Amino acid sequence: MEQRIAEITRKTSETNISIKLNLDGSGVAKLDYPIGFMAHMLNAFTRHGLFDMEVQATGDLEVDQHHLVEDTGITLGQCFARALGEKRGIHRQGSCLFPMDEALARAVVDISGRSFFVFEGRLSGTPLVSGAASFQTDTIEDFWQAFTGAAGISLHLDILRGRSDHHKIEAMFKAAALALRDAVAIEPRASDTIPSTKGTLI
């Protein structure tokens, strides 16, 4: 099987992001990312998806975290789309229910070539604080919206219950990773077939 690897750099007046992604990795993340909580989520996503991912990123954090988080979603989504190519042989769909203590997340994905995003995160909107740093939890929806659009997938991401925003967000990232892991997996019985009655997923 050909290696499904992509590397993309996105540079704007607001952010500079480089991501290298291997869909058939072992869950290794090398992250140079200036937002601690988001780096934690990217690491969890990589580990549970069994992707290998390298990220280097800088951004205008003196403005706020929105630009960097959203542009990271765009760049990562573009890497998924490029690494998948014409999507020959993939399962295409994947889903996961992921519990994290009191929080329960559900992710359902279809690598359809059409982007559609539904988000029911039930987040409080209160920033997560660690020492002198804080994380804008409202950027999580921005990240997944950007990822979905750039990757060309349909993603439904929901929190079914939970109290801690940290647990809710982490459960979402892990659920999405496992759903995507299933969706990008190669089906041995149809490894040379595009999983669509149309004959294309582009």
- Do residues 141 and 93 lie in contact, with contact meaning Cβ atoms separated by under 8 Å? no
**What pLDDT, on the 0 to 100 scale, is given for residue 3?**
86
How far, CA to CA in Å, does 86 sit from each of 22, 26, 90, 93, 201? 16, 23, 10, 15, 7
**What pLDDT, on the 0 to 100 scale, is given for residue 12?**
97
**What pLDDT, on the 0 to 100 scale, is given for residue 76?**
98
Q: Which CATH superfamily is domain 5-190 in?
A: Imidazole glycerol phosphate dehydratase; domain 1 (3.30.230.40)
**What pLDDT, on the 0 to 100 scale, is given for residue 197?**
61
**What pLDDT, on the 0 to 100 scale, is given for residue 34?**
96
**What pLDDT, on the 0 to 100 scale, is given for residue 179?**
98
How is residue 184 written in tokens? 């990008």
Of the candidates 52, 48, 4, the one whose C-alpha atom is nearest the C-alpha of residue 30 is 52
Identify the sign of the CA torsion 73, 22, 158, 88: positive
Rounded mean pLDDT for each run of 10 residues along the chain, 202 residues in total? 91 98 98 97 98 98 96 98 92 97 98 95 92 91 98 97 98 98 91 72 67
Residue 32's contacts (CB-CB under 8 Å, 6 or more residues apart) are: 55, 56, 57
**What pLDDT, on the 0 to 100 scale, is given for residue 73?**
98
**What pLDDT, on the 0 to 100 scale, is given for residue 193?**
82
Residue 71's contacts (CB-CB under 8 Å, 6 or more residues apart) are: 10, 12, 14, 15, 17, 59, 146
